[in-house]
Chain A
Protein backbone atom coordinates (compact mmCIF):
# COMPACT_ATOMS: atom_id res chain seq x y z
CA UNK A 1 0.00 0.00 0.00
CA UNK A 2 2.69 2.41 -1.12
CA UNK A 3 0.04 4.92 -2.18
CA UNK A 4 -1.92 4.61 1.07
CA UNK A 5 -4.58 2.42 -0.55
CA UNK A 6 -5.37 -0.97 0.99
CA UNK A 7 -5.64 -3.84 -1.50
CA UNK A 8 -8.51 -6.09 -0.44
CA UNK A 9 -9.02 -9.77 -1.20
CA UNK A 10 -11.76 -12.26 -0.39
CA UNK A 11 -9.89 -13.29 2.74
CA UNK A 12 -9.23 -9.78 4.06
CA UNK A 13 -12.40 -7.98 3.00
CA UNK A 14 -14.69 -8.55 5.99
CA UNK A 15 -11.96 -8.15 8.56
CA UNK A 16 -10.85 -4.83 7.04
CA UNK A 17 -14.25 -3.16 6.65
CA UNK A 18 -15.64 -4.48 9.95
CA UNK A 19 -12.73 -3.82 12.26
CA UNK A 20 -12.00 -0.33 11.00
CA UNK A 21 -12.64 2.52 13.44
CA UNK A 22 -12.89 4.85 10.47
CA UNK A 23 -15.21 4.73 7.46
CA UNK A 24 -13.72 2.69 4.60
CA UNK A 25 -14.31 3.58 0.96
CA UNK A 26 -13.89 0.55 -1.29
CA UNK A 27 -13.20 1.04 -5.00
CA UNK A 28 -14.50 -1.89 -7.09
CA UNK A 29 -12.35 -1.75 -10.22
CA UNK A 30 -10.65 -3.75 -12.98
CA UNK A 31 -7.72 -3.36 -15.31
CA UNK A 32 -9.88 -3.15 -18.44
CA UNK A 33 -12.09 -0.32 -17.17
CA UNK A 34 -11.05 3.08 -18.58
CA UNK A 35 -13.05 5.25 -16.12
CA UNK A 36 -11.56 3.20 -13.23
CA UNK A 37 -8.10 4.25 -14.32
CA UNK A 38 -9.17 7.88 -14.51
CA UNK A 39 -10.22 7.94 -10.86
CA UNK A 40 -7.26 5.95 -9.50
CA UNK A 41 -5.04 9.04 -9.00
CA UNK A 42 -7.93 10.85 -7.28
CA UNK A 43 -8.34 7.99 -4.82
CA UNK A 44 -4.62 8.09 -4.07
CA UNK A 45 -4.90 11.80 -3.31
CA UNK A 46 -7.91 11.19 -1.06
CA UNK A 47 -6.02 8.43 0.80
CA UNK A 48 -3.27 10.92 1.60
CA UNK A 49 -5.39 13.98 2.26
CA UNK A 50 -8.03 12.21 4.35
CA UNK A 51 -5.61 9.97 6.28
CA UNK A 52 -6.89 9.60 9.85
CA UNK A 53 -10.50 10.32 8.83
CA UNK A 54 -11.19 7.75 6.16
CA UNK A 55 -9.52 4.62 4.81
CA UNK A 56 -9.31 4.01 1.08
CA UNK A 57 -9.31 0.43 -0.22
CA UNK A 58 -9.63 -1.23 -3.59
CA UNK A 59 -10.98 -4.55 -4.78
CA UNK A 60 -10.22 -6.04 -8.19
CA UNK A 61 -13.52 -7.51 -9.45
CA UNK A 62 -11.71 -9.67 -11.99
CA UNK A 63 -9.88 -11.49 -9.20
CA UNK A 64 -12.80 -11.44 -6.75
CA UNK A 65 -16.11 -11.67 -8.65
CA UNK A 66 -17.68 -13.28 -5.55
CA UNK A 67 -17.43 -10.02 -3.61
CA UNK A 68 -18.72 -7.96 -6.54
CA UNK A 69 -21.73 -10.27 -6.67
CA UNK A 70 -22.27 -10.19 -2.92
CA UNK A 71 -22.53 -6.39 -2.98
CA UNK A 72 -24.56 -6.33 -6.23
CA UNK A 73 -21.88 -4.46 -8.09
CA UNK A 74 -22.84 -4.58 -11.79
CA UNK A 75 -21.01 -1.51 -13.00
CA UNK A 76 -17.53 -0.22 -12.33
CA UNK A 77 -16.15 1.87 -10.95
CA UNK A 78 -18.50 1.51 -7.98
CA UNK A 79 -17.42 3.04 -4.68
CA UNK A 80 -18.99 1.63 -1.52
CA UNK A 81 -18.56 3.49 1.74
CA UNK A 82 -18.60 1.19 4.78
CA UNK A 83 -19.09 2.60 8.26
CA UNK A 84 -19.38 0.30 11.26
CA UNK A 85 -19.13 -2.63 8.86
CA UNK A 86 -22.28 -1.64 6.94
CA UNK A 87 -22.64 -0.16 3.46
CA UNK A 88 -23.69 3.45 4.04
CA UNK A 89 -23.26 4.83 0.55
CA UNK A 90 -23.01 3.57 -3.00
CA UNK A 91 -21.47 5.74 -5.71
CA UNK A 92 -21.76 4.32 -9.21
CA UNK A 93 -19.58 5.65 -12.02
CA UNK A 94 -16.44 7.73 -12.17
CA UNK A 95 -16.64 11.17 -10.59
CA UNK A 96 -14.34 14.18 -10.22
CA UNK A 97 -12.50 14.94 -7.00
CA UNK A 98 -14.76 17.82 -6.01
CA UNK A 99 -17.88 15.73 -6.40
CA UNK A 100 -16.34 12.82 -4.47
CA UNK A 101 -15.34 15.06 -1.58
CA UNK A 102 -18.87 16.42 -1.48
CA UNK A 103 -20.34 12.90 -1.44
CA UNK A 104 -17.94 11.88 1.33
CA UNK A 105 -18.56 14.98 3.44
CA UNK A 106 -20.98 13.22 5.78
CA UNK A 107 -18.31 10.64 6.69
CA UNK A 108 -15.54 13.10 7.46
CA UNK A 109 -14.64 14.77 10.72
CA UNK A 110 -15.94 11.87 12.81
CA UNK A 111 -12.55 10.42 13.66
CA UNK A 112 -12.73 11.45 17.31
CA UNK A 113 -15.61 9.12 18.18
Chain B
Protein backbone atom coordinates (compact mmCIF):
# COMPACT_ATOMS: atom_id res chain seq x y z
CA UNK B 1 0.00 0.00 0.00
CA UNK B 2 1.36 3.38 -0.98
CA UNK B 3 0.62 6.05 1.61
CA UNK B 4 0.14 9.73 1.08
CA UNK B 5 2.97 10.64 3.36
CA UNK B 6 5.77 9.24 5.49
CA UNK B 7 7.46 11.38 8.13
CA UNK B 8 10.97 10.31 9.13
CA UNK B 9 11.82 11.48 12.64
CA UNK B 10 9.70 12.50 15.62
CA UNK B 11 11.03 15.60 17.36
CA UNK B 12 9.05 18.85 17.47
CA UNK B 13 9.32 19.25 13.67
CA UNK B 14 8.23 15.72 12.72
CA UNK B 15 5.40 15.59 15.24
CA UNK B 16 4.06 19.02 14.24
CA UNK B 17 4.12 17.86 10.62
CA UNK B 18 2.25 14.76 11.80
CA UNK B 19 -0.43 16.81 13.58
CA UNK B 20 -1.02 18.97 10.50
CA UNK B 21 -0.98 16.18 7.92
CA UNK B 22 -3.15 13.96 10.12
CA UNK B 23 -5.71 16.75 10.50
CA UNK B 24 -5.64 17.09 6.70
CA UNK B 25 -6.67 13.40 6.50
CA UNK B 26 -3.36 12.32 4.98
CA UNK B 27 -2.95 9.51 7.54
CA UNK B 28 0.82 9.99 7.97
CA UNK B 29 3.12 7.17 9.00
CA UNK B 30 5.73 8.50 11.42
CA UNK B 31 8.86 6.37 11.53
CA UNK B 32 9.93 7.74 14.88
CA UNK B 33 13.34 6.19 15.52
CA UNK B 34 14.56 3.79 18.20
CA UNK B 35 15.26 4.26 21.90
CA UNK B 36 18.81 5.33 22.72
CA UNK B 37 20.56 7.35 25.41
CA UNK B 38 21.62 10.00 22.93
CA UNK B 39 19.41 12.67 21.37
CA UNK B 40 18.95 10.40 18.33
CA UNK B 41 15.73 8.81 19.66
CA UNK B 42 11.92 9.15 19.45
CA UNK B 43 11.03 12.63 20.66
CA UNK B 44 14.49 13.94 19.79
CA UNK B 45 16.80 16.19 21.76
CA UNK B 46 14.11 17.35 24.20
CA UNK B 47 13.90 13.81 25.59
CA UNK B 48 17.20 14.43 27.37
CA UNK B 49 16.34 17.84 28.79
CA UNK B 50 14.65 18.82 32.03
CA UNK B 51 12.62 21.98 32.29
CA UNK B 52 11.73 23.78 29.04
CA UNK B 53 11.09 27.41 29.97
CA UNK B 54 10.76 29.05 26.57
CA UNK B 55 8.08 27.04 24.80
CA UNK B 56 5.07 29.38 24.47
CA UNK B 57 1.91 28.27 26.22
CA UNK B 58 3.65 26.85 29.29
CA UNK B 59 4.16 29.82 31.64
CA UNK B 60 5.39 27.55 34.44
CA UNK B 61 7.67 25.55 32.16
CA UNK B 62 7.29 21.90 31.18
CA UNK B 63 9.62 18.91 31.27
CA UNK B 64 11.09 18.13 27.84
CA UNK B 65 9.97 14.46 27.72
CA UNK B 66 6.47 15.44 28.87
CA UNK B 67 6.20 18.08 26.15
CA UNK B 68 7.16 15.53 23.51
CA UNK B 69 4.65 12.99 24.85
CA UNK B 70 1.97 15.66 24.44
CA UNK B 71 3.06 16.38 20.84
CA UNK B 72 2.86 12.66 20.12
CA UNK B 73 -0.58 12.23 21.72
CA UNK B 74 -1.89 15.16 19.74
CA UNK B 75 -0.69 13.63 16.47
CA UNK B 76 -2.09 10.21 17.40
CA UNK B 77 -5.45 11.76 18.23
CA UNK B 78 -5.89 12.75 14.58
CA UNK B 79 -4.83 9.38 13.22
CA UNK B 80 -1.06 9.58 12.77
CA UNK B 81 0.43 6.10 12.78
CA UNK B 82 3.73 5.41 14.56
CA UNK B 83 6.48 2.92 13.86
CA UNK B 84 9.20 2.71 16.53
CA UNK B 85 12.09 1.90 14.26
CA UNK B 86 14.97 3.50 12.43
CA UNK B 87 14.92 3.93 8.66
CA UNK B 88 17.83 2.01 7.20
CA UNK B 89 17.65 2.98 3.52
CA UNK B 90 15.75 5.31 1.19
CA UNK B 91 15.21 5.48 -2.57
CA UNK B 92 13.86 8.86 -3.70
CA UNK B 93 14.78 8.40 -7.38
CA UNK B 94 11.19 7.78 -8.49
CA UNK B 95 7.66 8.00 -7.11
CA UNK B 96 6.27 6.49 -5.05
CA UNK B 97 9.27 7.04 -2.80
CA UNK B 98 10.72 4.01 -1.04
CA UNK B 99 11.74 3.81 2.60
CA UNK B 100 13.14 0.67 4.24
CA UNK B 101 13.34 -0.43 7.83
CA UNK B 102 15.76 -3.34 7.42
CA UNK B 103 13.82 -5.68 5.06
CA UNK B 104 10.44 -4.00 5.37
CA UNK B 105 9.53 -1.61 2.56
CA UNK B 106 7.20 1.36 2.98
CA UNK B 107 6.14 3.59 0.09
CA UNK B 108 4.62 7.07 -0.05
CA UNK B 109 3.87 9.82 -2.54
CA UNK B 110 5.47 12.45 -0.34
CA UNK B 111 8.16 12.38 2.35
CA UNK B 112 8.92 14.74 5.20
CA UNK B 113 12.44 14.46 6.57
CA UNK B 114 12.76 15.58 10.20
CA UNK B 115 15.60 13.41 11.48
CA UNK B 116 17.08 16.19 13.59
CA UNK B 117 20.59 16.32 14.96
CA UNK B 118 22.54 14.32 17.51
CA UNK B 119 25.22 15.17 20.03
CA UNK B 120 28.78 15.14 18.86
CA UNK B 121 31.05 12.91 20.92
CA UNK B 122 34.69 13.68 21.75
CA UNK B 123 36.13 11.17 19.30
CA UNK B 124 38.59 9.77 21.84
CA UNK B 125 39.58 6.12 21.98
CA UNK B 126 38.82 5.94 25.73
CA UNK B 127 35.28 7.11 25.10
CA UNK B 128 33.72 3.71 24.32
CA UNK B 129 35.40 2.14 27.34
CA UNK B 130 34.25 4.77 29.82
CA UNK B 131 30.78 5.51 28.48
CA UNK B 132 28.45 4.67 31.34
CA UNK B 133 31.38 4.52 33.76
CA UNK B 134 31.75 8.21 34.44
CA UNK B 135 31.38 9.47 30.91
CA UNK B 136 27.81 10.37 30.07
CA UNK B 137 25.69 11.77 27.26
CA UNK B 138 22.62 12.29 29.47
CA UNK B 139 22.85 14.53 32.54
CA UNK B 140 19.21 13.99 33.47
CA UNK B 141 19.76 10.21 33.46
CA UNK B 142 23.08 10.02 35.23
CA UNK B 143 23.48 13.11 37.43
CA UNK B 144 22.09 11.14 40.38
CA UNK B 145 25.16 8.90 40.47
CA UNK B 146 27.50 11.81 41.13
CA UNK B 147 26.12 12.99 44.44
CA UNK B 148 29.01 14.50 46.38
CA UNK B 149 31.47 14.10 43.47
CA UNK B 150 33.53 16.63 41.54
CA UNK B 151 32.70 16.44 37.86
CA UNK B 152 33.06 18.35 34.59
CA UNK B 153 30.96 19.40 31.63
CA UNK B 154 32.60 20.05 28.29
CA UNK B 155 30.98 22.67 26.02
CA UNK B 156 30.08 26.36 25.97
CA UNK B 157 26.52 26.54 24.65
CA UNK B 158 23.08 26.51 26.24
CA UNK B 159 23.04 22.71 26.55
CA UNK B 160 26.34 22.77 28.45
CA UNK B 161 25.07 25.48 30.84
CA UNK B 162 21.78 23.66 31.38
CA UNK B 163 23.58 20.40 32.14
CA UNK B 164 26.06 22.08 34.48
CA UNK B 165 23.29 23.85 36.40
CA UNK B 166 21.27 20.65 36.67
CA UNK B 167 24.32 18.72 37.85
CA UNK B 168 24.99 21.14 40.74
CA UNK B 169 21.98 19.52 42.42
CA UNK B 170 24.17 16.47 42.94
CA UNK B 171 27.84 17.31 42.48
CA UNK B 172 29.80 19.47 44.90
CA UNK B 173 31.72 21.07 42.06
CA UNK B 174 31.10 21.24 38.31
CA UNK B 175 33.88 22.52 36.07
CA UNK B 176 32.81 23.73 32.64
CA UNK B 177 35.59 23.08 30.14
CA UNK B 178 35.33 25.36 27.13
CA UNK B 179 37.68 25.70 24.18
CA UNK B 180 37.45 29.49 24.04
CA UNK B 181 37.50 32.31 26.59
CA UNK B 182 33.86 33.27 26.07
CA UNK B 183 30.67 31.24 26.03
CA UNK B 184 28.25 31.01 23.13
CA UNK B 185 25.33 30.27 25.47
CA UNK B 186 22.45 32.75 25.79
CA UNK B 187 22.90 35.60 28.25
CA UNK B 188 20.37 34.28 30.76
CA UNK B 189 22.04 30.86 30.88
CA UNK B 190 25.53 32.38 31.14
CA UNK B 191 24.45 34.55 34.04
CA UNK B 192 22.89 31.64 35.86
CA UNK B 193 26.02 29.53 35.43
CA UNK B 194 28.38 32.33 36.46
CA UNK B 195 26.30 33.05 39.56
CA UNK B 196 26.32 29.44 40.74
CA UNK B 197 28.90 28.85 43.45
CA UNK B 198 29.37 25.21 42.55
CA UNK B 199 30.29 25.99 38.94
CA UNK B 200 33.87 26.77 37.91
CA UNK B 201 35.21 27.48 34.42
CA UNK B 202 38.27 26.09 32.69
CA UNK B 203 38.69 28.48 29.77
CA UNK B 204 40.66 27.75 26.60
CA UNK B 205 40.66 24.06 27.34
CA UNK B 206 39.94 20.99 25.22
CA UNK B 207 39.56 17.42 26.46
CA UNK B 208 42.62 15.62 25.13
CA UNK B 209 42.24 12.29 26.94
CA UNK B 210 40.37 10.43 29.65
CA UNK B 211 42.07 8.72 32.59
CA UNK B 212 40.80 5.45 34.06
CA UNK B 213 40.47 1.85 32.94
CA UNK B 214 37.10 0.67 34.25
CA UNK B 215 35.87 3.99 35.56
CA UNK B 216 36.69 7.62 34.96
CA UNK B 217 39.36 9.02 37.26
CA UNK B 218 40.32 12.21 35.50
CA UNK B 219 40.15 14.31 32.37
CA UNK B 220 43.27 15.51 30.58
CA UNK B 221 42.70 19.11 29.55
CA UNK B 222 44.96 20.73 26.98
CA UNK B 223 45.22 24.51 26.95
CA UNK B 224 44.43 25.89 23.48
CA UNK B 225 46.74 28.88 24.03
CA UNK B 226 49.81 27.44 25.78
CA UNK B 227 49.45 23.81 24.65
CA UNK B 228 50.08 22.66 28.22
CA UNK B 229 48.24 19.65 29.61
CA UNK B 230 46.84 19.12 33.07
CA UNK B 231 44.69 16.41 34.59
CA UNK B 232 41.44 17.46 36.19
CA UNK B 233 40.63 14.87 38.90
CA UNK B 234 36.93 14.34 38.18
CA UNK B 235 34.85 11.16 38.34
CA UNK B 236 32.23 12.32 35.88
CA UNK B 237 32.32 14.01 32.47
CA UNK B 238 29.24 15.16 30.60
CA UNK B 239 29.63 15.96 26.93
CA UNK B 240 27.72 18.90 25.39
CA UNK B 241 29.95 20.14 22.58
CA UNK B 242 27.32 20.53 19.91
CA UNK B 243 25.33 18.60 17.38
CA UNK B 244 25.56 17.21 13.87
CA UNK B 245 22.60 16.66 11.57
CA UNK B 246 21.34 13.11 11.08
CA UNK B 247 21.71 13.02 7.31
CA UNK B 248 23.82 9.92 6.65
CA UNK B 249 20.75 8.27 5.08
CA UNK B 250 20.46 11.01 2.49
CA UNK B 251 24.07 11.22 1.26
CA UNK B 252 23.99 11.60 -2.51
CA UNK B 253 20.19 11.75 -2.46
CA UNK B 254 19.35 15.17 -1.03
CA UNK B 255 21.41 18.33 -1.45
CA UNK B 256 23.29 19.20 1.70
CA UNK B 257 25.86 21.68 2.88
CA UNK B 258 29.42 20.65 3.66
CA UNK B 259 28.41 20.41 7.31
CA UNK B 260 25.72 17.86 6.43
CA UNK B 261 22.68 20.08 6.96
CA UNK B 262 19.98 19.57 4.32
CA UNK B 263 19.41 22.48 1.94
CA UNK B 264 15.86 23.75 1.51
CA UNK B 265 14.58 26.34 -0.95
CA UNK B 266 14.52 29.70 0.79
CA UNK B 267 11.34 30.36 2.77
CA UNK B 268 10.01 26.84 2.24
CA UNK B 269 10.62 23.21 3.16
CA UNK B 270 11.26 22.06 -0.45
CA UNK B 271 14.41 19.99 -0.97
CA UNK B 272 16.00 19.37 -4.37
CA UNK B 273 13.76 16.30 -4.84
CA UNK B 274 10.19 17.17 -5.81
CA UNK B 275 7.89 15.70 -3.16
CA UNK B 276 10.52 15.44 -0.43
CA UNK B 277 10.37 18.12 2.26
CA UNK B 278 12.69 18.84 5.18
CA UNK B 279 12.06 20.57 8.49
CA UNK B 280 13.57 21.03 11.94
CA UNK B 281 17.20 20.87 13.00
CA UNK B 282 18.17 18.62 10.10
CA UNK B 283 17.99 21.74 7.88
CA UNK B 284 18.56 24.47 10.47
CA UNK B 285 21.93 25.32 11.98
CA UNK B 286 20.89 28.84 12.91
CA UNK B 287 17.95 28.77 15.33
CA UNK B 288 17.65 25.14 16.51
CA UNK B 289 14.83 25.73 18.95
CA UNK B 290 11.81 23.52 19.69
CA UNK B 291 9.50 26.29 18.55
CA UNK B 292 11.33 26.97 15.27
CA UNK B 293 11.46 23.23 14.59
CA UNK B 294 7.72 23.00 15.23
CA UNK B 295 7.12 26.01 12.97
CA UNK B 296 9.12 24.50 10.13
CA UNK B 297 7.27 21.18 10.66
CA UNK B 298 4.03 23.04 10.05
CA UNK B 299 5.52 24.56 6.88
CA UNK B 300 6.56 21.13 5.62
CA UNK B 301 3.08 19.72 6.28
CA UNK B 302 1.38 22.54 4.36
CA UNK B 303 3.96 22.38 1.54
CA UNK B 304 3.46 18.61 1.26
CA UNK B 305 -0.33 18.82 1.37
CA UNK B 306 -0.44 21.46 -1.38
CA UNK B 307 2.14 19.64 -3.44
CA UNK B 308 0.17 16.36 -3.24
CA UNK B 309 -3.00 18.14 -4.27
CA UNK B 310 -1.34 19.94 -7.18
CA UNK B 311 0.39 16.77 -8.39
CA UNK B 312 -2.76 14.71 -8.28
CA UNK B 313 -4.85 17.28 -10.12
CA UNK B 314 -2.23 18.02 -12.71
Contacts and interface: CB of A to CB of B under 8 A. Distances in A.
Interface of A: 30, 32-39, 42, 61-62, 68, 72-78, 92-99
Contacts of A77: 37, 141
Interface in B171-222: 214-215
Contacts of B138: 33-35, 75
A38 B82 CA distance: 14
B277 to A, nearest CB: 26
Given A78-B132, A93-B36, A95-B35, A61 B41 contact: no
Interface in B273-313: none
A34 B65 contact: yes
B287 to A, nearest CB: 23
Nearest to B133: A74
Closest 7 A-B residue pairs measured CB to CB?
A: A96-B34, A92-B132, A93-B37, A75-B132, A38-B35, A94-B35, A34-B65
Contacts of B215: 72, 74
B187 to A, nearest CB: 28
A94 B47 CA distance: 12
A32 B50 CA distance: 9
A36 B141 contact: yes
Interface string B134-161: 1011101110111000000000000000
B140 to A, nearest CB: 6
Interface in B10-35: 34-35
B142 A35 contact: no
Interface residues of B, number: 32
A35 B134 contact: no
Contacts of B142: 74-76
A104 B218 CA distance: 33
Contacts of B131: 75, 92-93
A96 B141 contact: no
B133 A35 contact: no
B145 A35 contact: no
B85 A74 contact: no
Contact of B35 (A62, A72, A75, A96): A96
Contacts of A92: 37, 131-132
Interface string B208-251: 00000011000000000000000000001000000000000000
B42 A62 contact: no
A93 B132 contact: yes
Contacts of B41: 35, 38, 94
23 contacts: A33-B140, A34-B65, A35-B35, A35-B37, A38-B35, A38-B41, A38-B43, A74-B142, A74-B215, A74-B236, A75-B37, A75-B131, A75-B132, A75-B136, A75-B138, A76-B141, A76-B142, A92-B131, A93-B36, A94-B36, A96-B34, A96-B35, A96-B36
A35 B36 contact: yes
B150 to A, nearest CB: 15
Given A34-B140, A35-B138, A35-B141, A74 B132 contact: yes
Contacts of B37: 35, 75, 77, 92-94
Interface string B38-71: 1001110001100000000000000011000000
Which of B35, B42, B84 is packed against the most chain A CB atoms within 10 Å? Answer: B35
Contacts of A42: 35
B86 interface: yes
Given A33-B140, A35-B138, A94-B41, A68 B36 contact: no
A56 to B, nearest CB: 16
Contacts of B48: 34-35
A74 B134 contact: yes
